[in-house]
Structure 1
Amino acid sequence: MAEKNHTILTEFFFITFTEHPELGLPLFLFFLGLYVITLLGNSGMVFLICTDSKLSTPMYFFLSHLASVDICYSSAITPQVLAILLKQGLVVSYECCAAQFFFSTFLGATDCYLLAAMAYDRYVAVCQPLLHMTIMTKKTCVVLAAASYAAALFAATVRTAAAFTLSFCGDNQIDFVFCDLPPLLKLTCGDSSTQELVIVVFAIFVIPACMVVILVSYLFIFRAILLIPSAGGRAKTFSTCASHIMAVSLFFGTLIFMYVRSNEGNSLQEDRIVSMMYTIIIPMLNPLIYSLRNKEVKEAMRKALRNAKFFRRDLG
């Protein structure tokens, strides 16, 4: 029994996450549709921000990066989900699993840091409106974005190194949608306390740290909003933050829900659903959140459609 438990794994087998094989094709088409919408929506958002001068503000600068990261984030996960559904299972090498783990961690952490940077921008815009463009210069925005990528890269490197110095042995089946920490920990053997401690310590510098920045920023924002004398002024100011609040609530809410539930030993079926929320569903929803609740984006979309119509007319 001991020898069997210490057979070193060189590949992982992802079993299909539906007990009904006949649902494989409908689910494949469903997730393929979500993926296409994600690519089109986020690419469209980046295009609008890059081509419309009215969207050349700090908030949209960060939003363009968020949309780009969401494209990559979804692309790191969804194709594997599609392959699992289409083939009724998928064999993934140790190296490919480590690469997916690294990129999903890096992109997820970048999302967290960018949302925190956007919260700081909203704080400056609401609490110090006269100094907003002086404080949030193009250089400051570039530095904050670069710091987000650098911090995420460091966190992903340490987390991946810690996770993949664990000893994986025994059963190589993973009943999950991608190489994430909770299912991998179920395959470990031997003492993994040191690696798990490193993973936890560096996780604190991502989700909790970003949440502190966001919460503190919004405490000051809400305080400033409450000091506005008119109800109309309060509503108008709050509306500038509404999309960001919704995006933050969805993303951080599902992340926290995922890891709290995993630690409490809840079913993998529930964990799969929650993981799909923050890796597949939320990247699709973000452009909708920021476009449907934003006058500037809707105006840019109308302008782009008019230009496209005129271009087709000229070609005709």
Structure 2
Amino acid sequence: MSLFGRIFLLNALVLVVAAALLVFSPVTVSTPALLGEIVVVGAGLVAMLVANALLIRVGLAPLDRLTRAMTTIDLLKPGPRLTAKGHGEIAELITTFNAMIDRLEAERGFSSARALSAQEAERKRIAQELHDEVGQSLTVVLLELKRVADQSPRHMREELRQVQETTRSTLDEIRRIARRLRPGVLEELGLVSALKALTAEITTGLAVTRRFAKDLPELDAETELVVYRVAQEGLTNTVRHAAASTVDLSLQGHPDGVELRIKDDGRGIGDAQEGAGIRGMRERALLVGAELAITAPPRGTEVRLVVPSR
């Protein structure tokens, strides 16, 4: 029976009983009312209110759970669905809500996949242009500077050498940016080599410990790219925000596939809101059905990604 039907039936039952008592029993109400009559009417009223309150409280309890779920749900953190407890419209409402969340997660996953695919394509294009256009132009500039320096008077050569060094440093920085935009080593040498190259680029004095298990399960190209991007974002956050002195990066086998773990000894995340970087990590993890957890141990921050093997 629906919630409306149960409330209506209870109220009708109480009113019918009250009417029957007035019609078929010697119960009457005097004018002015006597104390005993007031007690009887008051007791009946209290009984009716208590019965209504209990019924409404029990009937609306599933709605309280639904309200809490609505205020706390995050499409980037999938969780168990609500159990469709209750009667009539209540159970139907919870079932509809679960179906809506399933649909929203599927649509968000599809949209995120398209957005990240376009992002990777754009990164690849920019990296290619940096390498082919800007990189080659700076290489030509370096050669011209060397030719001019060799033919210049002695007092100008030192200044030209400094310009050469500045140009060479700029060229190295552009190549580094291109490698971060498009990890060619990931395509050519695999995930472990790409992670080693990623940690080798850290030049801020941060002590990096690397641990890679042997005989890791084989991952497809899309999953390897997700692991690499999560590691890249995690290390970038450590370098920029953690004020850490050490960071440990490990890639180990897991009963469900492969586990990536990044742990530093920095200041931790505290109560800070998740930024675009972390939300991007969560979106990438959802694309390949991986589990991402970002926790704050007694000291520092730990990023843990478990990806299923194919």
TM over 0.5: no
More helix per residue: 1 or 2? 1
Larger radius of gyration: 2
Higher relative contact order (CA 8 A, sep 6+): 1
Normalising by structure 2, we get a TM-score of 0.28
TM-score, L = length of structure 1: 0.28
